[in-house]
Amino acid sequence: MAATVGIHSTHPETMPADHAALPVWNSENWFYEDFEIGHRIRSLRRTISEGESQQFNALVLDMHPYVSDQIFAETEGLFGKRLVAGAFVFSAGLGLVATNCINAFSYGYDKLRFIKPTFIGDTIYTIRTNLAKEPKYETLGLIRSSYEVFKGEGELVLYCEHIQTVKYRQRKAAG
């Protein structure tokens, strides 16, 4: 069977046919109609190391003393130790439940809140809950999911809602 060609192809012609026939790891091809309100998933846990925290800070040029200066954090900081940047907790937390759905595109985030501090050495995990969906465009609908990032044994540290545009299985009638 010949590989499908196109921008949304998961089986490109630019590789050997036996490779192209393999399913793509960590990808999905669900459509708007497949989105089930109330469906929940939980990620694996992951511990945030000092090295990756500092690497993220350097990459985004966040050198605030709360995240980069041990002496400041211990002697003058509100928490007595260095924080992990909220942007990193957001990125890592959402990444824990991310998949590569070839029919979905990020539309934006709402209600992003950093509820409790996260520190170097904390272990986080994420629960994603499908909240709502609504038709929007001729070929795409909107879906909304909540992301709750927890540390330790269930302490909520971050909440946000992700809105995505998702292709319809079949094009909606104009109207």
DSSP labels for 160-171? EEEEEEEE-SSP
Would the pLDDT of 78 be above 70? yes
Confidence of residue 18 (pLDDT cuts 50, 70, 90): confident
Average pLDDT over residues 101-116: 96
153: which DSSP letter?
T
C-beta separation of 112 from 91 below 8 A = no
**Is 0.75 surpassed by the pTM of this model?**
yes
Q: Which position has the token pair 């992003």? A: 112
Report the DSSP beta bridge partners of residue 33: none
- Who wins on pLDDT, 175 or 86? 86
Burial category of 157 from C-beta neighbours within 10 Å (exposed 0-12, middle 13-18, buried 19 and up): buried
As a whole number, the mean pLDDT across the chain is 90
Q: With pLDDT > 90 as the criterion, what percentage of the chain qualifies? A: 77
Query: What residues form DSSP beta bridges with 105?
Result: 165
pLDDT band at 5 (very low <50, low <70, confident <90, very high): very low
Answer CATH for 29-167 from 3.30.460.80, 3.10.129.10, 3.65.10.10, 3.40.630.10: 3.10.129.10
Question: Could you report the per-residue pLDDT of 59-75, keeping only the tens digit for each?
Answer: 999 999 999 999 999 99
Ramachandran assignment for 150, one of left (phi > 0), alpha (psi -120 to 50 degrees), beta (any other): beta
**17 three-state secondary structure:** helix
Q: Which tokens go with 132?
A: 């709502």
